[in-house]
């Protein structure tokens, strides 16, 4: 249950409709997931978020699956339930294998542990790490 | 300034020395960074952490650089100063280019933003994302 | 499903009852939300939390709606599902408009993004910012 | 010490220079704080971040000081040292009084406490809070 | 609804079965909770996590209940719903009384509040606290 | 460098002075650590925080050292540098041994890891854990 209603296609204003259309065209799918339908209460925020996401997750020097794995790592660390689900699904759609998923989880678990230890110990940054 | 002293080679117990030796052999470098010197107050914790790290970050279906990028993503989200420095340095040593660094930061920034929005909106998980 | 049962009016001890009565009188409503019913297992914690909340959220130099927006910002960043719901409802009851809600979300999203970037980059604090 | 160098005016590419110029014009000040100088290694990320920040923090239904207080609340909860400093300075520049600062801290402290309690108790969301 | 299926006893590989058997033997109970059934998709991660957990939570200089209280404190602060439930149940099984639970919550609430205040104020570490 | 100045004894108002006196009397020491000197800009917040801390950390069903260990666990997970230092020092003053410190760190590291895994996997809460 969201803190706002989910905007249906029928309720979409022309500005929202344009973003929904671009999401559909970009993804080659008619499906609009709930995140965008909740965000659609503020067309400017919806549009800015989608435009930036499309740019950031698009072609670059990191391949699309690597970007999704990084996205999952941040989402899990932030404790975002919706994001853990949606980006795990997205990573699978981009080819993440069960073995890769297991390694992703292993790195996330390892980093979470050493992050806590380094913080508890307040380890000073080594001189060689400084630029 | 750490919450414990940093264990020098001279202060290392045989058990700690064995871990330091394995770190040096594995990395092909004489350098032991401060994290391990702080952790060395508890040889069992030092050994368990290093053994697990060596295994998790070793060869697998994800390449070493991808694992470092995921490690940075978790470390940044957890706000770990030491880890942000040490793993950014490690990623560079493994070949991260400035362009890849910029894309990593862009994905981390994007995920942080949509994580917050999804949490603020308490967006319900779409049925299609459920396994 | 809470990790404790929710204390009904019939189960309330006199000390709990006194807090419930004060919540009702302060808010001009008979409704006691689940947070207080869960907290009521420890009357001292219930009382201290309510007394402090009443004082902090009461009249001051910041208006009540501004305080609720700040409360939402913290709650979202902490990933608290219950708090996101209860304080969004409270902000609406205090007059938050859809436009203000959209701007609140935009600022939360922006801050989440730049927080992550500043942490990833470990940007040193400018001298002019220091008091 | 940042994980990247800080880009001076002399090192700025034309694209970076254009953003720096707009920051100066928008703020009516020659000063460019370190955050932007660190971000300038990736001109596209620098530009996108600045453009969005300028839009989000600009005129709206929430006044500029309220937006800064919300920004501080998120930054503190995320544990961002740089952001706590820079946005506290920004709030003062926009007129935050010591009394308002004290109330901001009081709300942040209160929310942090009840967020933790609600999470520990896993309080179920009241039906009346659902839209 | 997990992001993976839960591995039943019938689906368990021999390696997973061996871990499940050790969990049962160690706990003196036939029950395997969902965490291990989700983790069982990666037998190596399952095994490493269980072996380390058994060692860390086993006999030592801190008694088992104290270790559970610390585990709850971390889990709540990380906003982990599953962990808040499972470790509160575990603490009760190890003898946590309602009064101890109330004090645990009070300390968690207090620490959350002063953590936020210290971060907002960026309080410099006192010289006497440094080792 | 704090975001506010640190209030010296000479600058303390009578209300602040009364709190400082009570801190000294309660602790049997003339030393006032920086946290209280920063908080002293808002006497009401200073007084409320100290009074609550004194009550929460005082005698109860959990011993003082256990409360400090819980406080450290929360502080580390929240990434609070000042708090990690001040409460590690406090725990030592209350008798924490190096072996106990090592076990505390081990539990914090373990919990951080399994918290991340449970969140990544979105493990559903077992029925038996529900009250």
> Which of F48, F26, F52 is closest to F39 using CA atoms?
F48
- Select the residue of A52, A104, A123 nearest B70 (Cβ to Cβ): A104
- Classify residue F16: in a domain, yes or no: yes
Domain stops at, among E25, E56, E87: E56
Residues of chain E with pLDDT > 70, as a percent, come to 100
Cβ-based contacts of C42 with chain E (< 8 Å): 98-99, 101-102, 105-106
Asked if residue F74 and residue F21 are part of one domain, the reply reads: no
CA E61 to chain centre: 18
CATH value at residue B105: 1.20.1290.10
User: Could you tell me if E2 and E52 lie in one domain?
Assistant: yes
Q: Say yes or no: D35 contacts chain C, CB-CB below 8 A.
A: yes
F52 and F64 both lie in a single domain: no
Residue A1 pLDDT: 79
| Contact (CB<8Å) F112/A108 | no
User: Cα(F131)–Cα(F123) distance, rounded to whole angstroms?
Assistant: 18
Whether C129 maps to a domain, the answer reads: no
Q: In F, which residues are within 8 Å of D81 by CB distance?
A: 81
Mean pLDDT of A46-53: 98
The pLDDT of residue B1: 79
Calpha distance F17→F10 (Å, rounded): 9
pLDDT one-digit tens code per residue, B70-97 = 999 999 999 999 999 999 999 999 999 9
Taking residue E127's Cβ as centre, other Cβ atoms within 10 Å add up to 8
Min Cα distance E68 → chain F (Å) is: 9
Q: Rounded distance, CA D102 to CA F88, Å?
A: 27
**Which chain F residues are Cβ-neighbours of D79 within 8 angstroms?**
78-80
Q: Is residue A129 part of a domain?
A: no
Same domain? For A49 and A67 the reply is: no
Each residue of D39-88: pLDDT tens digit?
999 999 999 999 999 999 999 999 999 999 999 999 999 999 999 999 99
pLDDT band at B20 (very low <50, low <70, confident <90, very high): very high
Chains that touch E (3 or more CB pairs under 8 A): A, B, C, D, F
| Contact check, Cβ <8 Å, C74/D78 | no
pLDDT exceeds cutoff 90 at F1: no
Residue D37 confidence (pLDDT) above 90: yes
Helix (H, G, I), strand (E, B) or coil at E79: coil
Whether B79 and D74 lie within 8 Å, measured CB to CB: no
Give D76's contacts (C-beta < 8 A, 6+ positions apart).
C74, D84, D108, E116, E119, E120
A3 near C CB under 8 A: yes
**Number of domains forming the structure of chain B:** 2
Which of F29, F56, F83 marks a domain boundary? Answer: F56
Interface probe, candidates A87, A114, A117, A119, chain F, greatest F C-beta count within 10 A: A119
8 A C-beta contact, residue F120 and residue E80: no
Q: What is the mean pLDDT of residues F88-116?
A: 98
Contact across the interface for D3 and B109, Cβ inside 8 Å = no
Residue of C nearest to A81 (CA): C79
Contact F52 C55 (CB under 8 A): no
Are A50 and A85 within one domain? no
Residue B99 has pLDDT above 90, yes or no: yes
The pLDDT tens digits of the residues spanning F95-107 come to 999 999 999 999 9
Q: How far apart are the first and last CA of chain C?
A: 47
Query: What does the pLDDT read at residue C73?
Result: 98
Q: If we measure between CA atoms, which residue out of B35, B68, B48 comes closest to residue A118?
A: B35
Tell me: the pLDDT tens digits for C66-99? 999 999 999 999 999 999 999 999 999 999 999 9
Find the angle CA(E70)-CA(E73)-CA(E77) to the nearest 5 degrees: 145
State the DSSP string of E28-90: TSS---HHHHHHTTSHHHHHHHHHHHHHHTSSSSS-HHHHHHHHHHHHHHTT-HHHHHHHHHH
Phi and psi at residue D130, to the nearest 5°: -85, 140
Residue F127 lies in a domain: no
Mean pLDDT computed over every residue of chain A? 98
Question: Is there a single domain that holds both residue D41 and residue D29?
Answer: yes
| Spatial CA neighbour of E84 closest among E66, E95, E63, E68 | E68
* Residue from the list F79, F99, F101 with its beta carbon closest to the beta carbon of B79: F79
pLDDT of residue D1: 79
Smallest CA–CA distance, residue C81 to chain A, in Å, is 10
Q: Confidence class of residue C1 from pLDDT cuts 50, 70 and 90? A: confident
Q: Exposure pattern of F52-76 as b/e (b: 16+ CB <10 Å)?
A: bbeebbeebebebbbbbbbbbbbbb
CB B49 within 8 A of CB E52: no
Q: Which domain holds residue B115?
A: 60-124
Examine the fold and report which residue of A13, A39, A56 is the final residue of a domain before the chain moves on: A56
Q: What percent of chain B has pLDDT over 70?
A: 100
Please give the pLDDT value at position E89.
Answer: 98
Residues of F with CB below 8 A from A112's CB?
112-113, 115-116
Task: Say if C92 falls within a structural domain.
Answer: yes
* ipTM of the shown complex: 0.98
């Amino acid at each position: 249950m969201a803190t706002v209603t989910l905007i249906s296609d029928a309720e979409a204003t022309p500005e929202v409709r344009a973003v929904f259309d671009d999401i559909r065209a970009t993804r080659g799918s008619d499906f609009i997931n709930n995140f965008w339908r909740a965000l659609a209460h503020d067309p400017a925020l919806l549009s800015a978020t989608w435009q930036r996401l499309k740019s950031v997750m698009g072609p670059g020097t990191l391949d699309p699956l690597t970007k999704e794995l990084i996205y999952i790592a941040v989402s899990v660390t932030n404790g975002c339930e919706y994001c853990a689900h949606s980006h795990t699904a997205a990573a699978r759609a981009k080819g993440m294998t069960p073995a890769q998923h297991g390694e992703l989880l292993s790195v996330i678990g390892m980093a979470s542990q050493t992050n806590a230890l380094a913080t508890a110990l307040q380890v000073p940054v080594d001189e060689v790490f400084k630029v």
